[in-house]
Each structure stands twice: as structure tokens, then as C-alpha cells.
């Protein structure tokens, strides 16, 4: 599940867009990705700016 969610976020370039598609809070998507990254022990998504 986490990997699929991660791929969706990368494709759409938006936590909020993925959250809308899944009818969940953006914070839920963010937490799920954070859990995956913690499990992997790596930082994969950097802040854009």
C-alpha cells in the first residue's frame, strides 16, 4: 500500500491531490509516506523550494 501511495504522490506531485482522490486527509497521506520512509531508513522526498 505504501509504495503505491508513494508512486501516486510522485506522479501527481501533490499529497493533497492524492488525498482528494482517496477521500482522506492530506495529513493521512503524509503520515503514511513518513512511515514508509522511516521503515526504509531513507529520505526519498525532498522539500521543493
Domain segments of the chain: what residues? 2-40
Helices (H), 1-49: 2-12, 15-22, 26-40
pLDDT digits (tens, 9 = 90+) for 8-20: 999 999 999 999 9
pLDDT at 11: 95
- Evaluate if residue 48 carries a pLDDT over 60: no
Expressed in angstroms, the distance from the first to the final Cα of the chain is 28
Cα-based angle 38, 22, 35 (whole degrees, multiple of 5): 5
Neighbouring residues of 35: CB distance < 8 A, sequence distance ≥ 6 = 2
Nearest-Å Rg of the Cα atoms of the chain is 10
Amino acid at each position: 500500500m505504501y509504495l503505491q501511495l508513494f508512486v501516486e504522490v510522485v506522479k501527481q506531485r501533490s499529497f493533497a491531490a492524492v488525498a482528494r482522490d482517496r477521500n482522506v486527509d492530506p495529513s493521512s497521506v503524509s503520515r503514511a509516506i513518513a512511515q514508509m520512509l522511516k521503515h526504509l531508513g531513507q529520505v526519498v522526498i525532498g522539500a521543493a523550494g
